[in-house]
Structure 1
Amino acid sequence: MGLFTGLLLLPLAPVRGVIWVAEKVNETADRELHDPGVIRAQLAALNQELEDGNVSLKEFEREEEKLLDRLYAVRVRPAPNHRR
């Protein structure tokens, strides 16, 4: 990038910075949402909550079904292609 182009685009730097941060947050959230290890840890925590009596059986079953659906979806969905 030349000096002249850099000076012209300088006012847009904060916007590009915000966009970059938003993309990184989105990537991290997507990884955590679809990481089988994170889902298994959530299932383990939910099971512990049930054993401790902090959640009812009905609530446990509802949340467990959601987590198992997410885990299944992770296994059948194709790997993301991050090439640009």
Structure 2
Amino acid sequence: MGLGTLLFGWPLMPIYAVVKLGELMRDQVERELHDPAVVRRRLEEVEQARADGRISAEEEDRAVEEILRGMVGW
């Protein structure tokens, strides 16, 4: 890091930090969307909600479709 970068770049450091934080959050969300264990758990939760009568068959279908779309990135 040169002196010019140090002198003129430090005011932008908070912006760089926010951008980096956003990238880390995006990466974490993508990992969770594509992690088979997380997808399986979400599908099991939907199945249990249907078995308990908390959601209808149509709502179950929509939830499963949404989960699978998130998994493959549609």
Identity of aligned residues (%): 37
Q: 1:68 to 1:22 in 2, by over 3 A?
A: closer
Q: Distance in 2 between matches of 1:51 and 1:67?
A: 18
Equivalent residue letter for 1:65: E
Number of aligned positions between the proteins:
73
Question: Which is richer in helix?
Answer: 2
1:5-84 → structure 2 map (5 Å cutoff) = 5-71=5-71, 73=72
Q: CA deviation at 1:61?
A: 2.0
TM-score, structure 2 normalization: 0.81
Q: State the SS of the aligned residue for 2:54.
A: coil
- Stretches of structure 1 lacking an aligned partner (at least 5 in a row): 75-84
Q: What TM-score, normalized to structure 1?
A: 0.73
Unmatched runs of 5 consecutive residues or more in structure 2 = none
